[in-house]
Structure 1
Amino acid sequence: MIREKLKTAQDRQKSYADNISKDLEFSVGDWVFLKLSSWKGVMRFGKRGKLSPRYIGPYEITERIGPIAYRLALSTELSRIHDVFHVSMLRKYMPDPSHVLEHQPVELREDLTYEEQPV
């Protein structure tokens, strides 16, 4: 009797989880963001706590290793990190031209000041 109730509860919870979860799959050449693990008190990229970035990148997938692991082409400053990541650590990068900011040179005066102008 108790086993039947436990089995029913487990099946119900599994059906809830199956509705929410989605199978992620990437191919070689896709660009993805890499999720940073949230270690408390660790300072990353000059920010601490809530202001630290959740994802970094984008990085290109160079190889698929099994159904749930991918090798990324990491930048040189991340060369000490192992370059194979679980699919749960990745988020697909959707290129958007509005994300690209135009570089405008700053004109410095002789006293090393400049004038800001709104965009």
Structure 2
Amino acid sequence: MLKKCMGDPSLIKPTEDIGIKDSLCYDKIPVQIQDRQVRKLRTKEVASVKDLWRNQFVEEATWEAEEDMKKRYPHLFESREVLT
């Protein structure tokens, strides 16, 4: 059976004293391109690349449009063009 618990109001800290930032975001940094794939739609073909991202806590991979990635992160494609 559960019992009612009364909290201690003296333990509650106001957020002004802690100093919480309004902007709690971080930058995602691409590390490398793992794979390339061309998807065929009805009227066109879309090239995608699988990017490995480095975050503060976890590394994750996502599929992104190749054109957008070349515009934002051209350094990832420089070493790849030399090899081909």
Higher-Rg member (1/2): 2
Q: Same fold (TM over 0.5)?
A: no
TM-score between both structures, scaled by the size of structure 1:
0.27
TM-score between both structures, scaled by the size of structure 2:
0.35
Which structure carries more strand by proportion? 2
